[in-house]
Amino acid sequence: MFRTLAFFALTLTAAAQTCPSAPKTPEALAQAEQTWAKALEQHDSATLGCLLADSFQDADPDGKLHNRAETLAGVPTHKPGVNKLSELDPHVFGDSGYIRGLATLYDPEGKMKAQVRFTDIYVYRDGRWQCVAGQETLLPQGK
pLDDT tens figures, 119-140: 999 999 999 999 999 999 999 9
In a domain, 42, yes or no: yes
Domain that holds residue 102: 2-16+24-138
Number of domains in the chain: 1
**CA–CA gap between residue 15 and residue 83 (Å, rounded):** 26
Q: Which of 128, 143, 118 has its CA nearest to residue 51? A: 128
The residues near 9 (Cβ < 8 Å, ≥ 6 apart) are none
In a domain, 143, yes or no: no
In a domain, 91, yes or no: yes
**CA–CA gap between residue 77 and residue 106 (Å, rounded):** 16
In single-letter form, the type of residue at position 21 comes to S
CATH, residue 115: 3.10.450.50
Contact 29, 97 (CB under 8 A): yes
Strand partners, 125: 128
Give the three-class secondary structure for 78.
coil
Q: Which of 98, 90, 48 has its CA nearest to residue 69? A: 48
In a domain, 128, yes or no: yes
**CA–CA gap between residue 140 and residue 143 (Å, rounded):** 6
The residues near 1 (Cβ < 8 Å, ≥ 6 apart) are none
In a domain, 115, yes or no: yes
In a domain, 69, yes or no: yes
Question: What is the tens place of the pLDDT at every residue in 95-105?
Answer: 999 999 999 99
Question: What is the tens place of the pLDDT at every residue in 46-88?
Answer: 999 999 999 999 999 999 999 999 999 999 998 899 999 999 9
In a domain, 39, yes or no: yes
In a domain, 78, yes or no: yes
Q: What is the pLDDT of residue 143?
A: 52
